[in-house]
Amino acid sequence: MNFPNLLTTIRIILVPLFIYIFFSPMKNNILYGTIILFIIGLTDILDGYIARKYNMITKLGTILDPIADKITIFGVIISFIHVDLIPYEVFIILFVKEISLALCGLLMYYSKESQPLSANKFGKIATFSFYVAVFSILFDFPQIVSQGLIGLTVVLNIFAFFSYFTIIYTYYNKDYHAN
């Protein structure tokens, strides 16, 4: 396991810790949860940067990274819904998008070329917007700002979904058009 994959694994391990701290009765639980979430976000940026810069991209990493993203997104969203920080409709939209992409990614991975569905710039922007929206809530920005950022995150995720769908569609139709 290389260093970027280790960072991704750490990110996966930190999500349950975030949830535990977030719901704990300890003093400053939200502050500590925010710090953990910041570390999760930082490792998300670092693992991709290091993997690309030092040519350490692996098949394992292209599988683990989106899993870590999904675990983080769902862990945070479910936690926020539970304490009424965001509406459940956000979860439904992101759930449909993420599960659809996960299923398509599995199909691509188990296809004849074993090609995993890699992150693209639209997915990265959508993930970044998710972190910005979440931190706006955790840092108690005005509600209109946080709601706007959540709305923007939803729109960017829908856009990212269609971007990935285009990649998947092209992948599965390249043989058809080559003939």
pLDDT tens track for 97-111? 888 888 877 777 777
Amino acid at 87: P
Residue 179 within a domain = no
**Structure token digits, residue 92:** 């439904």
Residue 21 within a domain = yes
Q: What is the pLDDT of residues 76-94, one digit of tens each?
A: 999 999 999 999 999 999 9
Residue 66 within a domain = yes
**Structure token digits, residue 39:** 């570390």
Residue 47 within a domain = yes
What is the number of domains present in the chain? 1
**What CATH number does residue 151 fall under?**
1.20.120.1760
Query: Does the pLDDT at position 38 exceed 60?
Result: yes
Question: How far apart, in whole angstroms, are the C-alpha atoms of residue 2 and residue 47?
Answer: 10
Query: Does the pLDDT at position 40 exceed 60?
Result: yes
Query: Does the pLDDT at position 179 exceed 70?
Result: no
CB neighbours of residue 82 within 10 Å: 12
Q: What is the pLDDT of residues 110-163, one digit of tens each?
A: 776 666 666 788 888 998 999 999 999 999 999 999 999 999 999 999 999 998
Residue 151 within a domain = yes
What is the b/e burial string over 48-80, where b = at least 16 CB atoms within 10 angstroms of the residue's CB?
A: beebeeeeebeeebbbbbbebbbbbbbbbbebb
Residue 14 within a domain = yes
- Tell which wins on pLDDT, 170 or 7: 7
Residue 130 within a domain = yes
Cβ contacts of residue 19 below 8 Å, gap of 6+? 75, 79
